[in-house]
Amino acid sequence: MNQQVTASQRQELWDIFQKAPKPQLHLHLDGSLSFNFIMKAAKRLQSRKPEEEVFEKNWIPKNEEELFLWLAKITNEDVNSHFKAEECDNWRAFNFCNKFLQTKEDLIEATFDIMHRGHDEHNINYLEIRFAPVLHTLEGLTEEEVIHAVGEGFEKGVQHWKDLGKHVDGGIIICALRSFPVSDAINLVKKMSTIKHERVLAFDIAGDEGNYPLREFKEALQLANECGIDMTLHAGEWSEKLHDSIIDNIKVAVHHGSKRIGHGVALRSVDHTDELMTHLQAKNVFVEVNLTSNVSDPRNVPSFEEHPLPSFLERNIKVAGLNVDNWLLAGNKDIGRAEPTGEFVRAFLDCGVTSKQLSEIAKTGYIAGFRNVSESIIKDAMEIWESEIIPKIDGWKEKHLSQG
């Protein structure tokens, strides 16, 4: 496909995709905060800790774009210093965001804010939000209290749209972090096994994949299986050419029963005859694709045109939606930001995925949801795709790209 389109033509395409019903399965709470939420939470933080310097000295961002570029600069500095998360720590941009997620009020409001923006701005009607409870205990909350607060925020969102006669569904995914002790992950699984909250859907291990192999967490994965806890695990996100453990991370995830793989970019290097691919297909494992997040670091994926998404579809890898990963933090000044509608635009224009394939990606996202999306919701969403979205996309293509 000829990707040489004007900004106005791209916006026209964005407007079409914006109206399409979408699932969002891979979204981190701390990396997806809005500018408005942060500014409100910053005032609450300063009232609790007057001595705290929220932003750089004598500087406050004027809007979300300034905030994004400032955080992107911090992330780039970390990338250039080998991007290793220190033990019992996280990357600096996430540490900044987590300053605003240390009270029950903050957690409830942040969760509701993400749901509100997702639905009203991008027509997301199924959403899974993931977070690491340990990162939200710095001011006295327990991990159990953190989980219940995010769950309460999610319920608030569901009820809000229910009162308006609309259906929004989903839940929360609880993460352990690779840079924290394995014992923390094991204890988190034990806590999850005792929490009876209907919005708690699954367990994940996230963070620094290159320096903390998933194999080290096998005991936590085995325990999750024994407790009947569903899993989606970050694996294959980092470059398999730079880190020897990346392909093995996917193997460990599939072997231990993970129903979904977060990112899975490294599958591009696995031959279709390989035993790993056989197991991936046989176990019906879904892959959560995050285009903009993957291209943020060119060491992982150099460009959208080089993203393996099209080859995934050709090889019948089940792509579970187009996800933002971190709505605020993913992207950079060169490629722009990640946002739910834009991921579909980039897949169509820059990756060459067809309108029909995009509708199937959305459908697969719904099917892969841990909440078990009802058949009627999927049917209604697909009817909109088939009757409205696909014809408009194909019409847009005929109008603007027929010469190409």
Determine how many CB atoms are found less than 10 A away from the CB of residue 267: 23
| pLDDT number for residue 90 | 86
Closest to 266 (Cα-Cα) out of 226, 308, 297, 230: 308
Tally of CA atoms within 13 A in the half-sphere of 320 that contains its CB: 25
- pLDDT interval class at 2 (50, 70, 90): very low
Start-to-end CA span in the chain (Å): 7
Each residue's pLDDT tens digit, 298-342: 999 999 999 999 999 999 999 999 999 999 999 999 999 999 999
Distance CA 240, CA 247 (A): 6
Each residue's pLDDT tens digit, 135-192: 999 999 999 999 999 999 999 999 999 999 999 999 999 999 999 999 999 999 999 9
Whole-number average pLDDT of the chain: 95
Domains of the chain (ranges plus CATH)? 7-401 (3.20.20.140)
Distance CA 57, CA 53 (A): 7
Q: Is the pLDDT of residue 78 over 90?
A: no
Each residue's pLDDT tens digit, 283-297: 999 999 999 999 999
pTM score of the predicted model: 0.96
Going from the C-alpha of 181 to that of each of 91, 195, 352, the distances in angstroms are 16, 22, 42
